[in-house]
Amino acid sequence: MILYMDTFVTDEPLTPAHAEKSAWGRLRETDCSYRWRPRLEIFKYTLASYVNYNWSNVYIRYKLENPALYEETNHFIKGLFPNAIIENERSDKQQHFARAYRTLRSMGDKWIFYSPNNDHPIMATDLTMLDTLVKKGDEHEGRNRNL
């Protein structure tokens, strides 16, 4: 199975409801469990959570809010996944996604673990459950137009 991540890493809140002066912002100031962390740090943590699975290929497309951090981040990713394909852009337009899709197809694996979010780590002690899911998908292939 291919690990495919395509994301934008920014510290800008998604909505004003998550801004500094909002209820969430005040909670972050008062409760250390919700303390604000730089998104790049969370992105790295998320990537590290994927390292314990035997991916057939790793394809990471990401864009940073601060381009000065690409070299350091690419080095971090290569430390986790030495054979990863890394592109410092994201699929924010149809033609970009089509190019990424062609790259994925060229890898020759029909199973893709797609992670569009930079803050969704895998929270499992045993990642072999992914193998179970792939096996089930293989069993049901052709029964559903999406498999």
Q: The tokens 């893709």 sit on which residue? A: 112
Alpha-carbon span 88 to 63, nearest angstrom: 5
Distance set, CA 62 to CA 2, 45, 73, 116, 135 (Å): 16, 15, 10, 9, 29
**Nearest 5 degrees, angle CA 47-CA 110-CA 80?**
20
In the chain, pLDDT over 90 holds for what percent of residues?
55
Alpha-carbon span 85 to 77, nearest angstrom: 10
Q: What is the pLDDT of residues 77-136, one digit of tens each?
A: 999 999 999 999 999 999 999 999 999 999 999 999 999 887 878 888 888 888 898 898
* Nearest by Cα to 61 from 21, 107, 108, 6: 6
pLDDT confidence of 33, banded at 50, 70, 90? low
DSSP assigned state of 17: G
